[in-house]
Amino acid sequence: MIKLRKYLKPFIFSIIFSIVFLLIQANCELSLPDYMSKIVDYGIQNGGIENNLPNVIRENEYEKVKFFLEENEQQQLDSIYSKITKENSDYDKYKKEYSILEKENVYVLKNNVNKDIINSLDLAVGKSEIIVSFIDNPEKMQKQNLFDIDTNEGDNKTADMSLMMSSNTDMFSLIKNMPKENRYEFLNKINSQLDNIPETSISQIACTYIKGEYQQVGLNLENVQSSYILNIGIKMLLIAFISAVCAIAVGFLASRTAAGVARALRKDVFAKVESFSNVEFNKFAVSSLITRTTNDITQIQMLIVMGLRILCYAPIMGVIAIMKALSSSTSMSWIILLAVIVILGFMMISFSIVLPRFKKIQKLTDKLNLVARENLSGLMVIRAFGTEDFEEKRFDDTNKTLTKNNLFVNRFMMFLMPFMMLVMNLVQLLIVWVGANQIEASTLQVGDMMAFIQYAMQIIMAFLMISMMFIMVPRASVSANRINEVLQTPLELKDPKEEKPFDDNKKGVVKFKNVSFAYPGASEYVLHNINFTASKGETTAIVGSTGSGKSTLVQLIPRLFEASKGEILIDGVNIKDINQAHLRDKIGYIPQKGVLFKGTIRSNLEYGKENATDEELWKACDIAQASEFIKGKPDGFETEIASGGTNVSGGQRQRLSIARAIVKNAEIYIFDDSFSALDFKTDKNLRSAINKELSDATIIIVAQRISTIMHAKQIIVLDDGEIVGKGTHKELMQNCEVYKEIALSQLSEEEVRNNE
C-alpha cells in the first residue's frame, strides 16, 4: 500500500479536510455523553443547578457566603456578580423575574463569566453555602451528621454553642463578632470536617441551599429545571446536526478521493500494459491483468473510502473517548485498559490467520477469471468436442475452492461481532458494578457513571470498526502488491534519450544485420544470425515450416520483441534509436489473427488513420477486397462490429484488418500470414491490387502458401530459426531443398514449372 502512496498526493487537501471533519465529528459525538451526564446530574437530580454559584442570591445571603471565603476568593466573587438595586436601569426587567426585589436587593451572576473562574470558586463557594446553611439552621445540619461541634458550656476557647444553636440567636452575627482567634478556630474546625466530605455530597447540599434561595427570590424551580434541560437538549441537537454534516462531508471527500485514485491507477495500469512488449505480456496471464485492472483496483478504492471514513475515524474516536473517560472517572480506567488488551489480542490473532487466506483468494480469483475466459472464448471448440461436462467440472472445482476460502474468512470474521458485543456487555456490567459502589460512597455521580459507560462503548466500537477494516486491509494490501507488480515491471522496450534522424536516401529500407533472438530465460536462440535487406518498392517474402520463427522475425521490426543481438535498421537508423511511436508510424502491421474492436466498420478502419475520408476508406477496402461485402451491408461503413469481430466471418475480419493497415498509408507493410483465411481467388486479387496500388511501399509477407509469395522479388527461407535460402522462386527451386519441399508439398511439378 505504501508503494502506491503517490496516487494520494493529488488529493492531499481532501484527505486533510476529511481528517479535520473527522476530528470535529468525533468531538461532537463524544461530547453528547457529557451533556447526557449533565441532564442526569444537574437537570434531574439538582433541578437545573449546574454549579455551586447561584445565578441570583439575596444581598444578605451573598454577604454571608462571601464572609466565609478567602480574601482573593471574595474579590473574584465580586468580579462576577452584579448588585441589582432600584437605581439600576434594568431594575424593572429584573423585578418581573425576581419578586424579592420589592423587599431587598439581589446579586446576579454576570453573563459570559469565564468558566475557569467559576470552576476555581465552585468548591469554596459550596463549602461556604453549607456553612451558611448550618448557621441558618444548625439543628437540621446536625441531624445530617455533617458537623461534630463541641457544645460543652465550659469550653473557654469557643463560644457557647448551645446558646448559638438556639432558635432565637443570630448565629452569623455571633460568629462575625467573635474574637478573631476564636472565629478562625471555629471555622477551621468546620472546614476540616468539610474536607472529609466528597465533592459530590458538597454539591448536593449546596444545591439544596441554592434551591431555597431561588424560592426566596421568587423563581419557579420547575421552570429552572425544565429550562436547563431544554437548553442542554437544544445544544445536543445542534451538536448532532454538526456531526451529521461532518459525516456527509467526509463521505463526499472520501468517495471523491477513492474514485480519483482508482481512476489514476486504472489509467496507469492500462498505459503500462499498453507499453508492454510480448515479453512482459508473457509474464502475466491476460486474465490476471484483467483482474488487476478491475477487481484489485476496486479493492483499493473500497479501502480508501472505508479507510477515510472508518480507519482514520476509529483511532480518533478511541483516543478522544479514552481521554474523556479518564477525565470522567480515573478510578475505573483499569476497566478500559483490560477491554483494550483483550480486543487487541483477538485482533492480532485474527490478522495472522486471515492474511494468508486473502492472498490465496486473489490468486483463485485470477484462476476463476482464466477458466471463465477460456470457456467463453473457446465455446465453439468445447461444443464441437463435447467437453461441456469436463469444463463445467473444471469451473466448478475452481469456484468451490474460491468459495471455501471466502467462507473460511467470512466465518472466522463472523465471530468478531459477537466477541465484541460480549466484551462490550461485560465491560458495561463491570462499570455498573464498580460505579454503583462508588456512587454509594458518594465519590461518583450517576450521570458520570452513565457517561463513562458511553465512553467505554465508544472505545470498544472504535476497535470494532478497526477490526472490521481488517477484513478489507489484508485483501487490499494483496491487491496493492499485485497492482504495484504491474506498475514496477521493467520495460524491455525503451525509447532513446536522443532520437536519430532518418536517412531520406534509404527511405523504406529494412535491413537485418546479424540479428539473433532468444526469449527471456530461454537457453537457446530461436533466431540465429539473420541478415537480409527489404527495399522500397519490392516485396520480400518469408516462408518456412511451422515453428521456424517467421512471425517472431517480423515482430522484431515494430519492436514487439527486442532483438537479443545484432541490429535492425529502418531508413538507415537502428530501430533502438527511434521512438516507438515514430517507428510504428512508418509501419502498417497486419497480424496473423485479424482483431476487430467493438464499434462500426468505420471506427475500426479509422484505427489506421483518424478522420480518414470516405474516399481513402473505399480505396483501402478496394485493395483489401473488402468493398463488395461492405456495400452489401445496409449500413455500409456504419455497420456494427461486435467485440472481437464475432459477427463477421474470418475472411471478412482478415480483409478489414488489411484495409485498416492500408488506410494508414505507411512506408512499410508487414503481412504476418494475413491471407490464410482468404480463398485463392481473393488472395490473388488482393496481391495483384497490392502490387499495383502499393508499388512505392516496402512489402514484407509471411505466408504458408507458396502461391502467395512465389512472385516476390526476394524470398527468405527459414528453417529452425536460420536462413537456409534467399532469392527468387526460380533460384530457390534450384538451390534450396527446404523451399523445394515446401513448394512441391503444395503445388504439382507442372504448376511449379509453369510459374517459373
Kindly report the CATH number assigned to the domain that includes residue 465.
Answer: 1.20.1560.10
Does residue 127 sit within a domain? yes
CB 410 within 8 A of CB 383: no
- DSSP one-letter string for 479-547: HHHHHHHHHTPPPS----SSPPPP-GGGTT-EEEEEEEE--TT-SS-SEEEEEEEE-TT-EEEEEESTT
Instruction: Work out how many domains the chain is built from and give that number.
Output: 4
**HSE on the CB side for 655, CA within 13 Å?**
28
* Assigned domain for 245 exists: no
**Do 409 and 8 touch, CB atoms closer than 8 A?**
no
| Same domain flag for 415 and 517 | no
Residue 329 has pLDDT above 80, yes or no: no
pTM above 0.75, yes or no: no
Q: Is residue 623 part of a domain?
A: yes
| Cα radius of gyration (the chain) | 46
User: So what's the pLDDT on residue 157?
Assistant: 42
Claim to verify: residue 80 and residue 58 sit in the same structural domain: yes
CATH number assigned to the domain comprising residue 643: 3.40.50.300
pLDDT in tens, 576-592: 999 888 888 889 998 88
**What is the model's pLDDT at position 148?**
53
**What cell numbers appear for 653 in the block?**
475480419
| Within a domain: 397 | yes
Last residue of a domain, one of 487, 511, 531: 487
229: in domain: no
> How large is the average pLDDT for residues 241-257?
93
**Contact status, residue 620 vs residue 605, Cβ threshold 8 Å:** yes
Cell 433541578, residue? 47
Same-domain check for residues 341 and 468: yes
Q: Tell me the one-letter amino acid at 504.
A: D
> Which range, of 160-164, 325-329, 661-665, averages the lowest pLDDT?
160-164
Amino acid at 663: V
Domain range for 752: 499-586+668-682+697-756
Residue 522 domain-assigned (yes or no)? yes
Examine residue 231 and state whether it is found in any structural domain, yes or no.
Answer: no
Specify whether 636 is located in the same domain as 677.
Answer: no
For residue 370, give the amino acid letter: L
Assigned C-alpha cell, 364: 483463485
Do 296 and 358 share a structural domain?
Answer: yes
Question: Minimum mean pLDDT among 108-117, 438-447, 662-671: which range?
Answer: 438-447
Instruction: Give me 56's grid cell.
Output: 441570583
Q: What digits encode the pLDDT tens for the residues 304-316? A: 888 888 878 888 8
Q: pLDDT tens, 706-752?
A: 888 888 889 999 988 899 999 988 888 888 888 888 888 877 666 65
Return the number of other C-beta atoms located less than 10 Å from residue 362's C-beta: 21
Pair 433, 579 in one domain: no
What CA–CA distance (Å, rounded) separates 167 from 438?
Answer: 37
Cell numbers at 367, concatenated: 484462476
Report the DSSP beta bridge partners of residue 701. 541, 671
Torsion, Cα of 140, 144, 145, 150 (10° steps): 0
Range scoring the smallest mean pLDDT among 136-150, 170-184, 194-208, 301-315: 136-150
Same domain, 719 and 661: no
* In the chain, % of residues over pLDDT 70: 92
CA 493 to mean position of chain CA atoms: 33
Spatial distance between the Cα atoms of 516 and 566, rounded to a whole number of angstroms: 6
Check residue 753 and give its pLDDT: 60
Provide the 10 A C-beta neighbour count for residue 304.
25
- How far apart are alpha carbons 250 and 466 in whole angstroms? 17
Can you give the pLDDT at residue 432?
Answer: 83
Residue whose C-alpha cell is 476497535:
463
Cβ atoms of 399 and 368 closer than 8 Å: yes
**564 and 602 inside one domain:** no
Pairing label, strands 714-719, 539-544: parallel
Among 341, 333, 344, 343, residue whose Cα is nearest residue 431: 333
